[in-house]
């Protein structure tokens, strides 16, 4: 983490957080494209988002 910027748990790149970021929001790493879940905002904790399951959808 540089200057409070979180790192991607997959590729170690800095991850830009949305200004209106929320806990449990899904975001993408701009560097490697992987989907991440914001587990905590204070302190910022990112985890790899769960794999898409067969019943996921709309």
Positions in the binding site for other proteins (CB under 8 A): 20, 22-26, 37, 49-50, 53-58
Q: How near is the Cβ of 34 to other proteins at its closest, in Å?
A: 15
CA-CA distance, 51 to 37, in Å (whole number)?
11
Helix (H, G, I), strand (E, B) or coil at 17: coil
Report residue 54 as tokens: 């067969």
Alpha-carbon distance of 47 to 24, in angstroms, equals 10
Q: How far is the CB of 3 from other proteins (least distance, A)?
A: 25
Report the residue number, 3 or 22, with the smaller CB distance to other proteins. 22
Whichever of 3 and 19 has its CB closer to other proteins, that residue is 19
């Amino acid at each position: 983490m540089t200057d409070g910027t979180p790192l991607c748990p997959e590729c170690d790149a800095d991850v830009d957080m949305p200004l209106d970021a929320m806990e449990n929001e899904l975001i993408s790493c701009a560097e490697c494209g992987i989907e991440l879940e914001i587990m905590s905002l204070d302190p910022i904790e990112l985890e790899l988002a769960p794999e898409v399951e067969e019943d996921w959808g709309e």
